[in-house]
Chains A and B, each alone.
Chain A
């Protein structure tokens, strides 16, 4: 691998955490293939800034929940770059609703992007990484798996599924030089989390995170330094999970 530029795919790369991950991986020398679904202008802006800093970036449009889009995306990246070293499954949606009021379409829509999208991307990229006998897959989960807010059954279930997929896939392909890990952010200020501030806790506890709090961890997991980390979910939440609620003196 030495001397050859590493190639990374970042889904949901146009905004928030995905944009920060794209910038971080580019700064680490990866040729970043930034994937967006609908935010074309935002994707172009992120790519323009990465390119202005002198790094390699290519923008792709794809719906990660659509099998044909995923096949085309991976084919295009392989045709252009000849390899895929890092896959960051960051694309995700939040569509919170109380379970009793949730429609099947709403529930399936969340799982379609967050969980099935992760599955489709992994399924398309793993054979490429098998050919290389190397690769890094990093899936974005959420603290909502462990401390969900009201209305987050779909989101929490989808991310719980992502963590289980991460462990199972790590068992499956780990011995082939492919690592599969997940990152579970706490509350991070992005366009996506703005509407759910109440559920995530607006004031008490650790500060709100910023996308760069997460991108650094993803860049680490993509690096050679993380070679021995396999099948793990790493939390980055400023300590929220270990913080005792105020007023509880027990």
Chain B
């Protein structure tokens, strides 16, 4: 099963249950809008690895934060093609 925007959003809601009733879109910033912190991100990366066999290099993704604002879509794009985000 491929990781999609919807499944990524569901994983975000799993690691931060307080977002369960929040409408999340691809343009929302994972950090600034959704208040996902570093521990949440660690937990999220392990779930992505476990469920989708994808490695999330958080340092590499964070390095491009000025451009992609750490949006949900950028995370999805980074997982699909780490070198292009």
Q: How far, in angstroms, from A127 to B44 measured CA to CA in the complex?
A: 11
Q: Contact residues of B with A, CB < 8 Å?
A: 39, 42-43, 46-47, 50
Q: B18 to chain A: closest CB distance in Å?
A: 10
Q: List 6 A-B contacts (CB under 8 A).
A: A130-B39, A130-B43, A130-B46, A131-B47, A173-B39, A176-B39
Separation in Å of the B64 CB from the closest CB of chain A?
25
Q: Which of A161-197 contact B (CB under 8 A)?
A: 172-173, 176
Chain A residues packing against B (C-beta within 8 Å)? 127, 130-131, 172-173, 176
What's the Cα separation between A173 and B39 when bound, in Å?
A: 8
**From residue B29, how far is it (CB to closest CB) to chain A in Å?**
21
Nearest 6 pairs of A and B residues by beta carbon? A130-B43, A131-B46, A127-B46, A130-B46, A172-B39, A131-B50
CB distance from B44 to the nearest CB of A (A): 10
Give A172 to B38 CA distance when docked, in angstroms.
10
Closest A-chain residue to B44, C-beta based? A130
Q: How far is the CA of A133 from the CA of B50 in the complex (A)?
A: 14
For A173, list chain B residues within 8 Å (CB): 39
**Nearest CB to that of B40 among chain A residues?**
A176
Contact A127 B39 (CB under 8 A): no
Q: Please indicate the chain B residues that have their CB under 8 angstroms from the CB of A130 in the complex.
A: 39, 42-43, 46
Q: Give the nearest-CB partner of A127 in chain B.
A: B46
Q: In whole Å, how far is A60's beta carbon from the nearest beta carbon of chain B?
A: 23
Known A130-B39, A131-B43; 12 more pairs at CB < 8 Å: A127-B42, A127-B46, A130-B42, A130-B43, A130-B46, A131-B46, A131-B47, A131-B50, A172-B39, A173-B39, A176-B39, A176-B43
